[in-house]
Structure formats: C-alpha cells, structure tokens
Amino acid sequence: MRRLLCLLAILAIAALSAPAAPAAANTAAGTPVLFAETGHTLGYAFREFYDRQGGLPIFGLPLTEVFVEDGRPVQYFERARLEWHGNLALAQAGHLGRWAAERRAANPAFAPVGGAPAGATFFPTTGHTLAGPFLAFWQRNGGLPTFGYPISEPFDEINEQDGRSYRVQYFERARFEHHPESPARHQVQLGHLGRQLLAERGAPDWALAPVASPDRAWEALRPTHLRAPRVGVDTAVVSAGFSLGEWDVPRYTAAHYWPIAGYPGTPGNIVIAGHVGYRGIIFNKLPDIQAGDAIFVAAGGAERRYLVREVLTLLPEETWVMAPTDDEVLTLITCVPIGVYTHRLIVRAYPG
C-alpha cells in the first residue's frame, strides 16, 4: 500500500507543472467513444476539448483517426482539425480559416479596417469587426479558443457544397455562414473547412479507414510497450488516467500520462511511471539504469530508440521533470529507495 501511495503522490502534484486550462480535464471526459456515423473515435485530450468547446454542432463528426501531420498529432472533423501541442500540453483547433482565406487574399473583405461602427466589436489584433448574429454566435459558442479572431469582414460567397450564395465571415479557425431560411437558432452555421482541407491534403489510408471499437483511439501514436534491455525492463504501457490532478495508476503496469504527454516521434515530454517494491514489479530494476543505456518505446507497430542522458534523484515537490518540453523527451518515474520511497528516481532519455 505504501508503494502505491508513493506513486500516487508524485502524480497527484502533476497539475502544478501543467499549464492553466479553462476547465480541468478528467478521466470521464477523456474516455474514448466511437461515432457510428463515420466509424471514427474521439478520446483523451481531443474529446475533452471537443466536449468543452461545443461538441458536435461546432466541430461536426470525426473523419479520421489521429495521425501525425506537420510534426504533431491531428484529427480531422467536418468543420475543424484538432491538434495536440505536446510542447504546450494542450489541444487546440487548427487555423483552418486562415488556410481557406489564403486563396481569397485579394478580396477586399480581408483588408483590415480602422474601427467598428456602433453596435460592433473591433479586434485590433486582426483589424476586423464582429457584429449582429455572427457576434452573438461567436460569444455563445466558445469565442476565441474555439474560433479565433475574425480575419475578414462579412461578404457574400458561393458555398462549394450546395452552390448557393451566403453571407459569410472568416475567422482564424472557422468560417461562419448566415442561413436566413433556417430557424433562428440555426441561422448561423459553420462551413465544412475540415472536410475541405482533408480532401486537399489527404491522410494515411489507415487513418481514413473506419474502426470497430473506441479502444482504437490514438492507436497509432500512443506508447504500448517499453523495454530497457540492459536492466531487464520489459513491460506493456497502458493508458490509465486522464485527470490533471490525479493518475489512475494500475498496480502492476506502467502508465502513459495523457495531460502532459508527448508521443513518440513528436515534440513533447513522454511521461511513463511504474511501481517498484517486490521482485518482478514493473520498474524494480530501473534504479540500475545508467547514462548511455538504450530504451525502446513501441507505438503504432514500430519501436523508437532513446538514449539515457540523465538519471536523477529528486524530492517529491520537484515536478519540473513532468512539465511539457519543446523537444521530444522520454521521462520515466518511480519511487526510491525501495522500501522507503521518500524520493523520485527520474530517467531522462532522448531519441538516438
């Protein structure tokens, strides 16, 4: 029991090193779900962000599984692309509005204006205004974190999906469309920019293929096995726990800590913890590891090699080792000395 409490103590204070967020993540919110309409999953940090920022009416259905694009994990939805920024330890909606606006740069609606007329809000950051039903929709459905700043004034545009003309306004992460023929609460709708960008860029065949189970969420990216041959560490890695303030640690396996984690092959801090104590316990031999030792992490059917640079013994309050990193780092954590558990053994390894 003391061994379990020791590890829980390290992880319970992880929130001290995590960035501030509008709402604390939690295990229930992050649990993967499957959308039968498209056969794709939604889980962990992406589900927490999706649910908090408006869910299905805002982002639409998932169109892919999570895969790496432009160096970070992404997932496409009908109206958005969600991105995991491991160096910041947060999920964000991608700037699809800016992407769509690139081919419209000559349109005068994208030229900054000097101020706002009465009843409108002016955003000096981009030099554009927001008013009327578009302003009400922006304020009611998440504002800046969901849609970003306006990057155009309203103008009339032909919709690529139905060929009809609508009053539209572009934002960093979205395109608003005014549909006056619809009921009042549905008159502002979001353009399917996620679907459009996916059609242009494409995605790996496996990411486009429907899956049968929510357990397949993040399947190609999340660590599933860890081994350090010289010291005899060879263990499964499971996804256990999502809360910023606590970790649902399984008793006899290592665990991948979602809220602050990076993923093999992308920037960020990949934090894996395990128990010590009795013979055969998961990280029982980890105290024998040395600088220069190789550690192998399996993810998506491939193994990635890391070389140990540092082996540290820290006090419980020294949580900086769990903070996000700009570079790809593997951080292994356990309690020492065995039988006392007053300190934390930290192994830091880098790709090599």
Domains of the chain as residue ranges with CATH: 2-20+218-351 (2.40.260.10), 33-208 (no CATH)
Identify the residue whose tokens are 């830091």. 348
Given a contact cutoff of 8 angstroms between Cβ atoms, the answer to whether 98 and 121 are in contact is no
| SS3 call for 319 | helix
* Mean pLDDT across the chain: 86
Q: Is the pTM above the cut of 0.75?
A: yes
Asked if 223 and 44 count as a contact pair (C-beta separation under 8 A), the reply is no
**Of 235, 337, 243, nearest in space to 13 by CA:** 243
Check whether 5 has a pLDDT greater than 60.
Answer: no
Query: Residue 291 above 70 pLDDT?
Result: yes
The answer to whether the bond into 337 is cis (omega within 30° of 0) is yes
In a 3-state reduction of DSSP, which class is residue 124?
Answer: coil
Tell me: pLDDT of 211 over 90: yes
Confidence of residue 45 (pLDDT cuts 50, 70, 90): confident
CA distance 56 to 50: 8
Q: What is the mean pLDDT of residues 158-187?
A: 89
75 closest CA partner among 191, 174, 204: 204
Residue 264: CA atoms inside 13 Å, Cβ hemisphere, count? 27
- At residue 2, the pLDDT reads 47
Name the 3-class secondary structure at 219: coil
pLDDT confidence of 24, banded at 50, 70, 90?
Answer: very low
Compute the CA torsion angle 97, 102, 105, 109 (nearest 10 deg). Answer: -10
pLDDT at 244: 46
- Between CA 283 and CA 191 the distance in angstroms is 50
Alpha helices in 74-228 (DSSP H): 96-101, 132-140, 143-147, 193-201, 205-208
- Residue 177 neighbours by CB under 8 Å, 6+ apart: 159, 166, 167, 168, 188, 189, 190, 191
Backbone angles phi, psi at 343, to 5 degrees: -125, 175
